[in-house]
Structure 1
Amino acid sequence: MTVKFGTSGLRGLSTDLVGSVSALYSTAFARHMLDSGALKPGAPIVVGRDFRPSSPQISATILAAVKRLGLHPIDCGTIPTPALALYGASIGAAGIMVTGSHIPADRNGIKFYRPDGEINKADEEAITRLAQELHADQGANRVEAGSGEDREAEATKLFIDRNLGMLAPDALEGKRIGVYQHSSVARDMLVTVFKHFGATVFPLGRSEQFIPVDTEAVSPDTVVKLAQWTDELALDAVLSTDGDGDRPLVADEHGVPLRGDLLGLIASRFLGAKVVATPVTSNSGLEQDGSFVVRRTRVGSPFVIAAMEDALAAGETGVLGFEANGGLMLGSDFTLGEKLITALPTRDSFLPAMAVLGTAAERGLSLSQLVEDFSLPVALSDRLENYASERSTSLMARLRASREQLSAFLAPLGELATVSDIDGLRVTLADGRVIHFRPSGNAPEMRCYVEAADKASAAALLEEGLSLLGRWSA
């Protein structure tokens, strides 16, 4: 059994998750909820899934497993993760989302939600411990196809209604917006919501085969598609999400994707945030904005949510969080005009996209002009796939062993100035450029993040950083 919790949920090969593993971990989660008092016998539990080929079978196994423990399974079908979380919170239900997010279809994952939001690291440890204890229990590992009460339409409507009041009905009148639908569970909702605001919406690239879209490291093939669509259709923007609809992709009128942390910054201003929690990988220019207090965390929604909870416990208001992938989390309620937007402490792709397009339209700017208006350091990121965890672990141990070894490794790039190891290794070079190496917590990948004063310098540094990673061997 090679599944484990990463930065957001349980992840593993689809072949491992299909069958007894999904039964075991959903049983452990349900037991943990019952034992902790978060759920009572007979309580509802909502289950959703993405469009991966393995997701329906995993979902059916989970529905059967939670029913065996005396809970009331509710099937929300193929639905975005934030929509499932919102619906679960509205009826006081725990939730389970079957999704591998942006990773390829040969892998999948399971995200767990308490009635009050995402599980935290302590919950993950408790679930893992219970799964180990139940590993030999035939009942906990039983694989059977279950079903649940169908509330997909109800959960979908609740999420759409939440989003329809974010902007004025005519806020995007005259705008031409493409929606790259691919295999995202948010694809139809995006069309519905942005048509409501007066935009002419063009559904694009719909696929019945699963396509992994990483909003933090957009593939070259996707960038080419975005540029072609904006040119051929004279689009003002192209919108998309990852597979489960909790990370946004927003591209400008030239098809150039906007950084997720810029989306978060614009959304923070749009909402009037006072405290922003965000990982160390987000743009270093956030602190210079001055509109809010920034609290840096490790990468992963559980750490951002924990920082938001700390701020709320200290009496702060206007608390939100976001990640470099663009997913926005509301720790507290916010008000837009007369609309109350209730807290939703899980990643959401819709609100940041609306905030960016609404802000640009209100200022009379194109998206590329809006990006220039913020003047953040140019930040780029990419990843090396199929980078074995043993290889990345060995590399990080070597670089952390001494400053001399780190300096020697980075010598082709320049001289070290400062180093942070909040999550991975983030190095500021003597000339002010930033490079950050971080093994993925969800897949066998090594990520590289860079910042520089201009795009050419950032692109060159990213290429050099990836080259260093690629040449290294244990």
Structure 2
Amino acid sequence: MYKFSVSGLRGKAFLEVFPFDFFSFSYLFSKKQKEEKILVGYDTRPSSEVFYFSALAGIFQSGKDVIDCGIIPTPTLVFASKEFKLPGIVITASHNPVDENGLKFVKAGRFLFEKEIRLLKLEKIKKELKRKPKIEVLNKEEIFFKHAQKMKENIGAQFENFSDFKVGIDGVNGSVSSEIHYFCNFFSLNFSPLFLKEKIEKDFPRAPEPSSEALKMLSNLVKEKGLHLGIGFDPDGDRAAFVCENGEILSEEYTLPLSLLYYLHYKKSPVVCNFSTSLLVNDVCERFGVPLYRTKVGESNVVYQMIKRKSFIGGEGNGGVIVKDVNLTRDGLVAFYLILSLIKEKEKPLSILKKSFNDYIIIKRKLKAKKALFLKMKAKIKKEVKRLFKKDLIINEEDGLFLYQRNFLFHLRPANTEKVLRLIINADDEKIVEKLYEILCVE
């Protein structure tokens, strides 16, 4: 059975999600839109093209026309939605394994909020095809130009030339590869490519999440060619992680705080992130004297709070950065531009800039456990943590179990897109981590 959550539709292709699901949900989404055209794009997974045509059929059944975006990074389709004031659909499973796929729904330059997703319930599909539908083709070069131009005009010192940089870029052969060449040409950036094909033959060339393990080949490329830095994306380009000039692979938890370090210097703003984002973000917000608001995991939850809190920048600890004036979604290329600008302005390599942060212990795990076990674990953990950490302890159960003191953060929750529990422990003291592990009974 597919999973339908704040992240949209997800499941194993042809085992949990089928062409009819893409047809049905595309129909239901499209018929609720007042606009007559729907943007549609997809990623490079082998199953995406089949599901793309199923989605087209659903849109046509609703009586709407289509603007075909082809293979396109998810953030860029969201950007196009904002530019053209049109709703859109993306066929992608983002960072999930290659045998999975899904649908994301875009409206007014953002993904649907949680309450809007709930309204997309399966209803009886009516025959509404009253005329021959039309398909237009998106001018991707035009939207790539506007995307890059928007970054330059709305971020910091408005740098437009990075010709003194040499970078390694790993696009995991995902849809983000389609825009990389244009981005680098626009900003005069010299780059060495790694996995920048717009096609997947059988599987991704590495794990789709830009984790430290996945970016080892990029690290080797940076060291061998003497590059200034490396960047690794997830397949649809909404998340990014970085490699220092010395080959050190930074956790994706550094992407948002490094971006904030540059952005907040020019524009003070409240910051929004999710409960699973590390304490590094707290440090930057305190440095610039701006408030930090945390919310449930899920990109649309962060965007909702950004709008509510009048925040111009936010993101998640998974390598996702959102700059409201550019794109109201996580955007890996925006993160890339921010960190290139930070290095250029500070005239310091990434390894030195990283040392300006506290050296927290950051542990992330996926735990296989059913919901009933999670509820038992939650009660036990809450009781023990209250006993051990009495002073200024914040407990929030809005999204799993979130525990916070200024020197540690603990978040355990059922994943939105996978049948696992996601755990993050973040602390400045190894003894605290050991205590939390003892409570969890994790070896």
Regarding TM over 0.5, the answer is yes
1:242 paired residue among 214, 224, 234: 234
What corresponds to 2:138 in structure 1? Answer: 151
Change (3 A) 1:420 1:23: same
Is the CA contact (8 Å cut-off) linking 1:79 and 1:156 kept in structure 2?
no
Cα distance, 1:465 vs structure 2? 4.4
Is the CA contact (8 Å cut-off) linking 1:163 and 1:193 kept in structure 2?
no
Change (3 A) 1:467 1:25: farther
Is the CA contact (8 Å cut-off) linking 1:277 and 1:322 kept in structure 2?
yes
What corresponds to 2:3 in structure 1? Answer: 4
Deviations 1:326-350 (A, max 9, x none): 322233x3xxxxxxxx5x2111111
Is the CA contact (8 Å cut-off) linking 1:448 and 1:466 kept in structure 2?
no
Deviates more, 1:3-12 or 1:110-119: 3-12
User: In 2, Cα distance between the equivalents of 1:466 and 1:158?
Assistant: 51
Change (3 A) 1:109 1:270: farther
Whether 1:127 and 2:93 are equivalent positions in the alignment is no
Deviations 1:8-53 (A, max 9, x none): 22211211333111111111112232xxxxx14xx11000101111
Whether 1:29 and 2:29 are equivalent positions in the alignment is yes
What corresponds to 1:338 in structure 2? Answer: none
1:252 paired residue among 244, 258, 278: 244
Is the CA contact (8 Å cut-off) linking 1:268 and 1:276 kept in structure 2?
no
Whether 1:82 and 2:75 are equivalent positions in the alignment is yes
Deviations 1:143-163 (A, max 9, x none): xxx983221524344334434
Change (3 A) 1:384 1:435: same
Aligned amino acid, residue 29 of structure 1: F
Aligned amino acid, residue 18 of structure 1: F
Aligned amino acid, residue 27 of structure 1: Y
What corresponds to 1:380 in structure 2? Answer: 362
Matches within 5 A, 1:146-185: 148-153=135-140, 154-163=142-151, 167-170=158-161, 172-185=162-175
What corresponds to 2:217 in structure 1? Answer: 225
User: In 2, Cα distance between the equivalents of 1:289 and 1:227?
Assistant: 30
Is the CA contact (8 Å cut-off) linking 1:96 and 1:113 kept in structure 2?
yes
Deviates more, 1:419-428 or 1:361-370: 419-428
What corresponds to 2:257 in structure 1? Answer: 262
Is the CA contact (8 Å cut-off) linking 1:308 and 1:320 kept in structure 2?
yes
Whether 1:108 and 2:108 are equivalent positions in the alignment is no
Deviations 1:405-458 (A, max 9, x none): x52xx89xx9344343342223358x944333222111123222122337xx49
Cα distance, 1:223 vs structure 2? 3.5
Is the CA contact (8 Å cut-off) linking 1:176 and 1:237 kept in structure 2?
yes
Whether 1:443 and 2:426 are equivalent positions in the alignment is no
What corresponds to 2:20 in structure 1? Answer: 20
Deviations 1:121-166 (A, max 9, x none): 11111102xx1x33xx4869x9xxx983221524344334434555
Is the CA contact (8 Å cut-off) linking 1:7 and 1:442 kept in structure 2?
no
1:356 paired residue among 310, 319, 339: 339
Give SS of 2:330's match: strand
User: In 2, Cα distance between the equivalents of 1:436 and 1:393?
Assistant: 15
Is the CA contact (8 Å cut-off) linking 2:256 and 2:321 kept in structure 1?
no
User: In 2, Cα distance between the equivalents of 1:465 and 1:97?
Assistant: 39
Give SS of 2:319's match: coil
Whether 1:368 and 2:358 are equivalent positions in the alignment is no
Change (3 A) 1:242 1:27: same
Give SS of 2:355's match: helix
User: In 2, Cα distance between the equivalents of 1:311 and 1:467?
Assistant: 35
Is the CA contact (8 Å cut-off) linking 1:76 and 1:155 kept in structure 2?
no
Change (3 A) 1:293 1:464: closer
What corresponds to 2:427 in structure 1? Answer: 452
Change (3 A) 1:92 1:392: same
2:400 paired residue among 424, 433, 436: 424
User: In 2, Cα distance between the equivalents of 1:257 and 1:19?
Assistant: 38
Is the CA contact (8 Å cut-off) linking 1:12 and 1:107 kept in structure 2?
yes
User: In 1, Cα distance between the equivalents of 2:248 and 2:239?
Assistant: 18
Identity, in percent, stands at 22
Is the CA contact (8 Å cut-off) linking 2:194 and 2:218 kept in structure 1?
no
- 5+ residue gaps in structure 1? 34-38, 313-317, 334-341
Aligned amino acid, residue 177 of structure 1: V
Alignment root-mean-square deviation, CA: 3.1
User: In 1, Cα distance between the equivalents of 2:127 and 2:20?
Assistant: 10
Give SS of 1:322's match: strand
Aligned amino acid, residue 424 of structure 2: Y
Change (3 A) 1:463 1:50: farther
Give SS of 2:32's match: helix
Aligned amino acid, residue 346 of structure 1: T
User: In 1, Cα distance between the equivalents of 2:19 and 2:263?
Assistant: 42
Whether 1:193 and 2:183 are equivalent positions in the alignment is yes
- 5+ residue gaps in structure 2? none
Aligned amino acid, residue 358 of structure 2: L
Change (3 A) 1:403 1:17: closer
Aligned amino acid, residue 191 of structure 2: V
Deviations 1:244-285 (A, max 9, x none): 111122221224124233244235425514121111222234
Change (3 A) 1:32 1:267: farther
